[in-house]
């Protein structure tokens, strides 16, 4: 069974075996507004938990994307680079950002579950 967790930087992460799929939450897209530019990490690079692993830009401003866990980047979603508006349309499903082969499964335990994140998101936008 796959497990979805959330970070305080508004990323979601879905773990299947040792492969994690990472994207930004619907709440994040609502705060950002229309996304018009995306930059992803390099395939094959190693990223560290809480380090930057990409950029999204709205018409208003640029924001870093962080990785909630450490690992090696094994796949990228080119379709959101070609058409960043897809992130606004389907952020928590088809508009994933990158996939990692994760280094340390225990890092998942530091993240929030859905209910915890919903409360966190509500409070952080209040």
Residues that bind other proteins (CB under 8 A): 33-34, 36-37, 39, 55, 57-62, 81, 84-85, 88
CB of 62 to other proteins, least distance (A): 7
Nearer to other proteins, 39 or 75 (CB): 39
Beta carbons within 8 Å of 46's beta carbon, 6+ residues apart: 70, 71, 72, 73
CB of 35 to other proteins, least distance (A): 9
Measured in whole angstroms, the distance separating CA 89 from the mean position of its chain's CA atoms is 15
Nearer to other proteins, 1 or 61 (CB): 61
Of 75, 77, 19, whose CA–CA distance to 43 is shortest?
75
């Amino acid at each position: 069974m796959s497990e979805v967790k959330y970070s305080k930087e508004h990323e979601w992460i879905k773990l299947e075996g040792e492969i994690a799929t990472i994207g930004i939450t619907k709440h994040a897209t609502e705060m950002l507004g229309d996304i018009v530019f995306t930059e992803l990490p390099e395939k094959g690079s190693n990223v560290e938990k809480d380090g930057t692993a990409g950029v999204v830009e709205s018409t208003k401003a640029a924001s870093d994307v962080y990785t909630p866990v450490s690992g090696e980047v094994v796949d990228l979603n080119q379709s959101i680079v070609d058409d960043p508006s897809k992130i606004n349309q389907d952020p928590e499903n088809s508009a994933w950002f990158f996939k990692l082969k994760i280094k340390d499964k225990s890092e998942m335990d530091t993240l929030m579950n859905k209910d915890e994140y919903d409360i966190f998101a509500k409070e952080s936008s209040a």
